[in-house]
Amino acid sequence: MDILISDVILPATVDLDYGSFKDKDELFRHMVSLLYKAGKIDSEAKFLEALYEREALGSTYMGNGIAIPHGKSDAVISSGIAFCRCTEGGLYESANESGIVKLVFMFAVPAETGDGSYLKLLSTLARLLMHESFIESLYEAKDYTDVVEAIKAAEAELGK
């Protein structure tokens, strides 16, 4: 059975009022701390290292104010996604791309996870983010429930 985005995003890993960030490192550290506090990772430092290793391979900036940083690491206890909505946003530089980012999904994936399911999850999110109505629902969300309902509705739409 495929893992759904709505299955691995938790209330503790959603921050809808982050404000702005001075650089990508500040944003990463904040989001990694959400994953750590939610029990998804057992080492913030090791997972940060995995994120930066992945960043060295290519851009995680998606354009349209969106970024999807991700990493596979043995610091990850179980797959998790942190979501951060920044009211002001900040400059997100990744590989040779950059832009102001306000919506960030961070994937934490256990090292032993096969690339197939990991890439399918990333691909699914990228497809969801191609729909303006989904992006609007993320901006309008008032709480975790709104975020998850928007994700579930968009996943169901993709599944048709």
Instruction: Return the beta strands (E) in 3-94 as ranges.
Output: 9-15, 61-63, 66-67, 70-73, 80-94
Q: How many CB atoms lie within 10 A of CB 151?
A: 25
Q: Using CA atoms, how far apart are residues 58 and 96, in angstroms rounded to an integer?
A: 8
Beta-carbon count within 10 A of 25 CB: 12
30 is catalytic: no
Choose the catalytic residue: 10, 27, 47, 70: 70
**Which residues belong to the active site?**
70
